[in-house]
Amino acid sequence: MDPQGFSGPEKVVKPLTPEALAAFKAAQERAGVVYISRIPPGMQPRKVRHLMSAYGEVGRVYLQQEGEYMRSCPTHGFTDRRADPKRAYLRRKHTTTKKPHFTEGWVEFKDKKIARTVAEMLNARPIGGKKGSRWRDDVWTMKYLPKFKWNMLTEQIAHEAAIHTARLRVELSQSRSEQREYLKNVELARVLDKRAERKRAAGKGVDLAPKNPPPKRKPDESQREKPKKR
């Protein structure tokens, strides 16, 4: 989970009383999540929060950074974008800005009705803004995710991060095993070359062909071909 993709108020975690826990669960039930399938180039989580706050109270915002991977899930809006570190590296190398590039995002509204209304109103509409602004002509592509809660997103991200870590661990183990086998073969070849060099220096060159080949065996009487009768 990339902390750069989050944008939310910083709060001190305190123990919850039963009343506070009930209020928290009720707030989670009232909240709604909007999925943004494309983030305009250069737009950061704070800017997304600022733009979405104009339509209603926003809770948490998470943007997926380029180069990360999340499996597809049509119900929850996850796309099937595999990690492309080379593309992210080339973008950082050949662009003036060194800020991370985000591809998709999720925005939590405190009221699910507002979230649904915002998604229906802004989908396929220009972002707008002041004349000459950077994203004035970009288009929003978003949809409301019914029955989707924020904890589903965090669980999915944590699960994908664990899978990615396990895959890297397996690949690293295989790479080490292949490296040890390669070094072993190199050392064996070096020892054999030295042994052959010493034999040649002592006049005992390795001759693979036998000096006195065995005589050819004569065919037995039973194996001789009998003359054909005419």
In sequence order, the 6+-apart residues with CB closer than 8 A to the CB of 138 are 40, 126, 127
Query: 174 pLDDT band (50/70/90 cuts)?
Result: confident
Q: List, in sequence order, the alpha helices (H) in 85-214.
A: 85-94, 112-122, 150-201
Tell whether the model's pLDDT for residue 173 goes beyond 50.
Answer: yes
Dist. CA 86–CA 88, nearest whole Å = 5
The more confident residue out of 121 and 158 is 121
Query: 118 pLDDT band (50/70/90 cuts)?
Result: very high
Dist. CA 24–CA 152, nearest whole Å = 16
What is the average pLDDT value for the chain, to the nearest integer?
76
Tell whether the model's pLDDT for residue 53 goes beyond 90.
Answer: yes
For the stretch 178-215, pLDDT in tens is 888 888 888 888 888 888 888 888 875 555 555 565 66
Residue type, 169: R
The more confident residue out of 74 and 167 is 167
Give 188: exposed, middle or buried? Use CB within 10 Å, 0-12, 13-18, 19+: exposed
Predicted confidence at residue 72, as pLDDT, reads 45
DSSP β-ladder status, 58-65 and 142-145: unpaired
Predicted confidence at residue 114, as pLDDT, reads 93
Residue 116 structure tokens: 């649904």
Q: Which of 56, 172, 67 is nearest to 114 (CA)?
A: 56
Dist. CA 230–CA 225, nearest whole Å = 15
The more confident residue out of 110 and 161 is 110
Tell whether the model's pLDDT for residue 3 goes beyond 60.
Answer: no
Which whole-number Å values give the CA distances from 188 to 100, 193, 207, in the listed order? 48, 9, 21
Read off the pTM. 0.56
In sequence order, the 6+-apart residues with CB closer than 8 A to the CB of 135 are 40, 43, 127, 129
Residue 36 belongs to what H/E stretch? strand 32-36
Query: 61 pLDDT band (50/70/90 cuts)?
Result: very high
For the stretch 149-159, pLDDT in tens is 888 887 776 76
Tell whether the model's pLDDT for residue 1 goes beyond 70.
Answer: no
For the stretch 215-228, pLDDT in tens is 666 665 555 555 55
Residue 61 structure tokens: 């915002």
Tell whether the model's pLDDT for residue 40 goes beyond 60.
Answer: yes
Predicted confidence at residue 123, as pLDDT, reads 92
User: What is the C-alpha end-to-end distance of the chain, expressed in Å?
Assistant: 93
For the stretch 72-99, pLDDT in tens is 454 455 544 444 556 666 666 666 666 7
Predicted confidence at residue 80, as pLDDT, reads 47
Q: Which of 107, 134, 128, 136 is nearest to 119 (CA)?
A: 107
Q: Which of 117, 176, 152, 59 is nearest to 48 (CA)?
A: 59
Domains and CATH numbers, the chain: 3-149 (3.30.70.330)
